[in-house]
């Protein structure tokens, strides 16, 4: 899929949103992260199924006896805590210092920083998890961030992550009632499909898994939600795609 132009570089199969203020707001995400990770952590409650899937994938694919796992973008800290509970080395990188302090207090080796310039040595980790992160990055941040993941991974190490599948970015745009600035409610800047994601990963990683999944948080769903989840799983098995899907990817450092 060809993507050209400054605005369209932020979108896949979505019409570009016009205006300098819109694009500027979309890349100013620190306040969004700080709010959800400290004041509204319940927003991450539905992510358990996705993160448990990631943990099981690490278990199945890592050859290290005690995997050294880095999670980029801590969220609620669920993944880091479960990594510790399994007896693995738990490391975290997040731009929010309050989140980092909370994780350190729980025994996680957490650092303040960003994906574009990670404060870690070369060839340090067996696994790097980057789940629901890449869609937040600008073009330059994405290119640099993927290179940094390759740098800190050990030879043959695993990058494992997720992004929303073919997200319609315009459906999640909101406006600030005070300043009038328009922005994506979660700070997303780009949408991925299988082709566009593979093209970004393949220069640095041997892609071994790239597929769409639906992560319904079964225990949290009412009966209507469970019926909807079953229908989505059946449709996905038939290669019929809809909304609320997630692209899962796994690659090995070349």
Backbone angles phi, psi at 205, to 5 degrees: -135, 150
Mean pLDDT calculated for residue range 210-223 = 74
Mean pLDDT calculated for residue range 242-250 = 87
Mean pLDDT calculated for residue range 46-63 = 91
Per-residue pLDDT band for 20 (boundaries 50, 70, 90) equals very low
**Number of CB atoms found within 10 A of residue 24's CB:** 12
**Angle value at C-alpha 164, between 223 and 213, nearest 5 degrees:** 55
d(CA 178, CA 186): 18
In the chain, the percentage of residues whose pLDDT exceeds 70 is: 73
**Number of CB atoms found within 10 A of residue 25's CB:** 21
Helix (H) or strand (E) holding 51: helix 48-61
Look up residue 146 and give its two tokens. Answer: 């993927």
Mean pLDDT calculated for residue range 115-125 = 97
What's 27's DSSP letter?
T
Q: Which long-range CB contacts under 8 A does 121-124 form with residues at least 24 apart? A: 121/152, 122/151, 122/152, 123/152, 123/153, 123/154, 123/155, 123/157, 124/68, 124/70, 124/152, 124/153, 124/154
Rg (CA), the chain: 18
Mean pLDDT calculated for residue range 109-126 = 97
pLDDT score of 176: 83
pLDDT score of 15: 35
Going by C-alpha positions, the residue among 209, 233, 245 that lies closest to residue 54 is: 209
Mention every residue, 6+ apart, whose C-beta is less than 8 A from residue 176: 182, 183
Domain 8-216+246-253 in CATH 3.40.50.150? The answer is yes
Query: Which residue do the tokens 């769409």 mark?
Result: 212
Mean pLDDT calculated for residue range 168-176 = 89
Q: What is the DSSP string of 87-117?
A: T-EEEEEES-HHHHHHHHHTT-EEEE-BTTB
pLDDT score of 159: 98
In the chain, the percentage of residues whose pLDDT exceeds 90 is: 58
Helix (H) or strand (E) holding 174: strand 173-175
Per-residue pLDDT band for 238 (boundaries 50, 70, 90) equals low
């Amino acid at each position: 899929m060809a993507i050209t132009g400054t605005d369209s570089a932020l979108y896949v199969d979505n019409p570009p949103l016009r205006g300098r203020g819109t694009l500027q707001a979309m890349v100013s995400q620190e306040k969004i992260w700080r709010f959800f990770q400290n004041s509204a952590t319940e927003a991450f409650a539905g992510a358990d199924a996705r993160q448990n899937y990631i943990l099981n994938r690490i278990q199945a694919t890592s050859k290290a006896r005690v995997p050294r796992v880095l999670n980029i973008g801590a969220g609620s800290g669920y993944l880091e805590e479960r990594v510790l509970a399994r007896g693995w080395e738990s490391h975290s990188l997040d731009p929010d210092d309050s989140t980092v302090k909370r994780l350190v207090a729980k025994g996680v080796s957490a650092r303040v920083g960003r994906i574009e310039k990670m404060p870690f040595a070369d060839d340090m980790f067996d696994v790097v998890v980057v789940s629901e992160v890449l869609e937040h990055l600008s073009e330059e941040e994405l290119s640099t961030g993927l290179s940094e993941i390759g740098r800190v991974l050990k030879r043959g190490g695993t990058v494992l992550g997720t992004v929303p599948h073919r997200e319609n970015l315009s459906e999640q745009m909101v406006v600030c009632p005070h300043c009038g600035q328009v922005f994506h409610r979660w700070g997303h800047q780009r949408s991925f499909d299988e082709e566009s994601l593979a093209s970004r990963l393949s220069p640095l990683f041997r892609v071994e898994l790239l597929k769409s999944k639906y992560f319904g948080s079964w225990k949290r769903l009412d009966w209507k939600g469970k019926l909807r989840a079953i229908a989505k799983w059946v449709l996905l098995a038939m290669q019929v795609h809809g909304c609320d899907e997630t692209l899962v990817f796994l690659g090995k450092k070349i």
